[in-house]
Amino acid sequence: MEVTISIPTALRPQVDNKDTVKVTGSSVREALGALTAQYPELGKRLYAGENELNRFINVYVNDEDIRFMDNLDTALKEGDEVSIIPAIAGG
Amino acid sequence: MTTIQTTELDRYHRQMLLPGIGEEGQRKLMNAKVFVCGCGALGTVIANMLARAGVGHLVIADRDFIEMTNLQRQILFDESDVENALPKAEAARRKIAQINSQVKVTTFIDDVNHTNVEKMAADCDIILDGLDNFETRFLLNDVAVKHRIPYVYGGSVGTTGMTYAILPHSHPDDANETPWELAGAATPCLRCIFEQAPPPGMNPTCDTAGVLGPVVSIVANYQCVEAIKILTGNYSAVRPTLLSFDVWENTIRQLKVARAYDVGNCLCCKQRQFEFLEGKFASGTTTLCGRNAVQLTQKLAEGRKLDFDEIAQRLAAHGQVKANKFMLRADITDNGNAYELTLFTDGRAIVKGTKEANVAKSIYAKYVGA
Ligand SMILES: [Zn+2]
């Protein structure tokens, strides 16, 4: 499955300043794995441990939070949109 | 509830024409007390809009003073406020008095923290945040959940914005349900959605990454829209999603978060652990990110005040000193390094010129006293 991952501004320096990256994967785990294999620096920001995202990172598939689906095992289908969206602190 | 004269309603004619508001809604707004926490870019827009809408009582808290770089987006302030070195909350109070003299304004020129936030939010019908950090937002979230006060979050940086309205769930032990629960409109709290604050580096601030004036206004106005719905009892009209947008890339998303309460096991609204309100993460110093400054929040004993005249005389030998009844500002050169020390009457201080808490503390100890 090819899916599009959108990258927040704060993390773009780790992905050659791209705003989206297309990867293949049948779950969120596979898609993020493909992304961080390509951009290892990004992986250091996203993961707290082997199989665990940092708690300040929210990942959405088609605007649904993966924590309330199957987390990293949430299944993906062709054309899905995966978004990494951190909280905005400024104001 | 104070009696409202019909003539006082006249100025809100265009607003009362709206079917969701009417005269009844307008009276609710005029009897409402609102806590605007933080009076910078978001907070000035919120205070301005809610004062014009006729909210009866605004409680405005802000720890900071006005700088020239604020004027690009902080709409209640002007050049004379910078010249007069006014604290933001005080300048906002003066401006609101000119905008709508019917509005009562209470100000707190202070750092909002676990020791004072419940006093500030007491009896408020809603909390709106105009903050620039997540620590204080989680503190407000604790207050909102504990006391069942609606809370509208807003955040903005660069060309992006985010906003979300929290209509807290009651605790099973609470005797009654809230009106928003009766309307089926309760929402997950901020910590249901963001379990942890992003650390520095993942967390650009307006001072480091910049911010576009209109985007902050958009966020703050969205916050006001939700506040007006809530204050007028239109709970089922409240946006149930986390709104996230980028005005430069032309993206708008509504993130679905409703399941966060049911599926999650939130420390705050499910487990009722109010970590921020209990002061678990509190410290006496805060590095003001992106501003090369440290805030020292230690206070003098209740009722005591710093003697600005005495301090001004003492510091005049080290550089320029400027004082009014709210604050004293002194340029200090210490060991060849330049600092700007801002003192508030209650002992709080902001030391500009360092990011190190220890350096700031030693400057304070040396020039103000321990
Ligand atoms: Zn919660």
Task: Give me the domains of chain A, ranges plus CATH numbers.
Answer: 2-84 (3.10.20.30)
One domain for residues B221 and B329: no
Do B195 and B65 have their domain in common?
yes
> What span, in angstroms and rounded, lies between the C-alpha atoms of A58 and A23?
19
DSSP notation for B172-206: TT-SS--HHHHTT-----HHHH-SSPPPTTSS--H
**A contacts of B206 (beta carbons < 8 Å):** 90-91
Kindly state whether residue B25 falls inside one of the protein's structural domains.
no
Residue A22 DSSP SS3 = strand
- Judge whether B350 and B339 are in contact, CB under 8 Å: no
CA–CA separation, B215 and B207 (whole Å): 15
B233 and B85 in one domain? yes
CB B223 within 8 A of CB B150: no
Question: From A63, which residue of chain B is nearest by alpha-carbon distance?
Answer: B255
| Residue A46 Cα, gap to closest chain B Cα (Å) | 10
CA distance B330 to chain A (A): 27
> Using the beta-carbon criterion (under 8 Å), do B129 and A91 form an inter-chain contact?
yes
Name the residue type at position B253: R
Chain A from 70 to 89: CB within 8 A of any B CB: 83, 85-89
B194/A89 Cβ within 8 A:
no
Report in angstroms the alpha-carbon separations of B62 from B124, B143, B152, B194: 17, 17, 17, 24
Token reading at B236: 């089922």
B308 lies in the same domain as B203: no
CB B102 within 8 A of CB B80: no
B104 and B215 in a common domain: yes
Residue B273 lies in a domain: no
- In this structure, is residue B323 part of a structural domain? yes
Half-sphere exposure of A84 (CA within 13 A, CB side): 31
pLDDT given for residue A44 in this prediction: 87
Q: Per-residue pLDDT for A76 more than 90? A: yes
Distance A81 CA to ligand 1 centre (A): 26
Residues of B labelled catalytic = 206
The pLDDT of residue A34 is above 90: yes
CB contact under 8 A, A65 and B259: yes
Q: Please name every residue paired with B339 in a beta bridge, in sequence order, or none if there are none.
A: B332
Contact B158 A9 (CB under 8 A): yes
Are B215 and B329 in a shared domain?
Answer: no
What is the predicted pLDDT for the residue at B200?
63
Please give the single-letter amino acid code of residue B193: I
Cβ–Cβ gap A58/B216 under 8 Å: no
Residue pair B158/B210 in contact by the 8 Å Cβ criterion: yes
Residues contacting A70, CB < 8 A, separation 6+: none
My answer on whether B185 and B297 are in the same domain is: no
| Cross-chain Cβ contact A86/B130 below 8 Å | no
- The predicted model scores a pTM of 0.89
- Count up the domains in chain B and report the number: 2
Chain B residue closest in CA terms to A42: B202
Three-state SS for B326-368 is CEEEEEEEECCEEEEEEEECCCCEEEECCCCHHHHHHHHHHHC
Of B133, B161, B264, the CB nearest to A89: B133
Share of chain A above pLDDT 70, in %: 100
Distance CA B309, CA B307 (A): 6
List of E strands, B138-177: 151-157, 160-166
Q: Which domain holds residue B150?
A: 32-263
The whole-angstrom distance between B285's CA and the closest CA on chain A is 19
Distance of alpha carbon B72 from alpha carbon B214, whole angstroms: 10
Tell how far the Cα of B277 is from the centroid of ligand 1, in angstroms.
Answer: 14
Rounded Cα–Cα distance for residues B129 and B189 (Å):
14
Query: Whole-angstrom Cα distance, residue A15 to residue A6?
Result: 11
Kindly provide the ipTM of the predicted complex, given to two decimals.
0.93
pLDDT in tens, chain B (370 residues): 567 888 899 999 999 999 999 999 999 999 999 999 999 999 999 999 999 999 999 999 999 999 999 999 999 999 999 999 899 999 999 999 999 999 999 999 999 999 999 999 999 999 999 998 888 999 999 999 999 999 999 999 999 999 999 999 999 889 999 999 999 999 999 999 999 887 766 667 666 688 999 999 999 999 999 999 999 999 999 999 999 999 999 999 999 999 999 999 999 999 999 999 999 887 678 887 678 899 998 777 777 788 898 889 888 888 899 999 899 999 999 888 999 999 998 888 999 999 888 889 888 888 887 5
